[in-house]
Amino acid sequence: MNRIASCLQQANQRLRAHTETPYLDAQVLLAHILGEPRAWVLAHPEIELSHAQSLALEQSLGQLETGEPLPYVLGHWEFFGLDFELSPATLIPRPETELLVEQALAWLRLHPGPRKAADVGAGSGCIAVSLAVHTPNLVVLATDLSPEALEVAGRNSRRHAVAERVALAQCDLLPKGEVDFDLICANLPYIPTATLRELEVYEKEPTLALDGGEDGLDVIRRLLKLAPVALAPGGLLLVEIEATQGEAARRLAQEALPDAEVRLIQDLAGRDRLVRVERRPTGSDPGRGP
């Protein structure tokens, strides 16, 4: 009998060697297969799976046992309260990146009016779409080197009804001639090459979205070199970093934009997670600050 209760128990047992949260992953997987909320799954242990549902569960468990990440098996994942389509061409959205969106939205609330933003290295488009959903007068340019990732980002923008305000561009960082962004957000590759090879995500998620070169800052350096032209006076640049890169990234940002206020933002664990760079408006007194 393939009742929910026994399926959860079996999935939990099989996933123990492959995840730190086997029972939670089993619940999420069953909820996806049954098309019901996770709470419903837990409240109906007696419900029996159909033959097709049992086959889908077996196939999905097999994928997970080979090391495929759960979000790729599901084909979607939640970020900032929204559901996003994913594919192996896109990075899996992390909770830490929600801090970047929170910082961006806080700044946008303090600077109302029509604004122009860029999401550099957009992947699934989770940052661009989240910002557009929560800021009706914002237009966002989402860029990525991967055409496959941009296809996913486009579907996500349509899924959340913001496609008219989220433009897509396949390019390295920013298109030539694109300047005066009020807001630039970037979750770029920042893992040092040697470190990446030791991590669980290596060869499971796109290396292009993870490998930041010898010290993890190669791509971030290149973006910062564009910032003096790309970021408008009074604008904000937010860059996600690895926890050990804080001071080095802060120095690079200050060298690139000497007129800006540069701060490190910590995550809930107290680790450096973002470099926040805010330019002074044109005509402001550098001695008085922004």
* pLDDT bracket for residue 199 (50, 70, 90): confident
Contacts of 28 (CB under 8 A, 6+ apart): 38, 70, 74
Q: Give the tens place of pLDDT for each residue, 18-66.
A: 999 999 999 999 999 999 999 999 999 999 999 999 999 999 999 999 9
Tokens 């959205």 sit on residue: 93
Average pLDDT rounded to a whole number, residues 6-14:
96
CATH architecture, domain defined by 4-67: Orthogonal Bundle (1.10)
d(CA 73, CA 18): 14
Domain map (residue ranges) of the chain = 4-67, 78-85+88-279
Instruction: Report the predicted TM-score, pTM, of the whole model to 2 decimal places.
Output: 0.91
Q: Give the tens place of pLDDT for each residue, 68-113.
A: 999 999 999 999 999 999 999 999 999 999 999 999 999 999 999 9
* pLDDT bracket for residue 288 (50, 70, 90): very low
Tokens 């196939």 sit on residue: 59
- Report how far Cα 58 is from the mean position of its chain's Cα atoms: 29
CATH architecture, domain defined by 78-85+88-279: 3-Layer(aba) Sandwich (3.40)
Average pLDDT rounded to a whole number, residues 164-177:
96
Cα first-last separation, the chain:
67
Nearest to 95 by CA among 140, 130, 60, 141: 130
> Would 4-67 and 78-85+88-279 be classified into the same CATH topology?
no
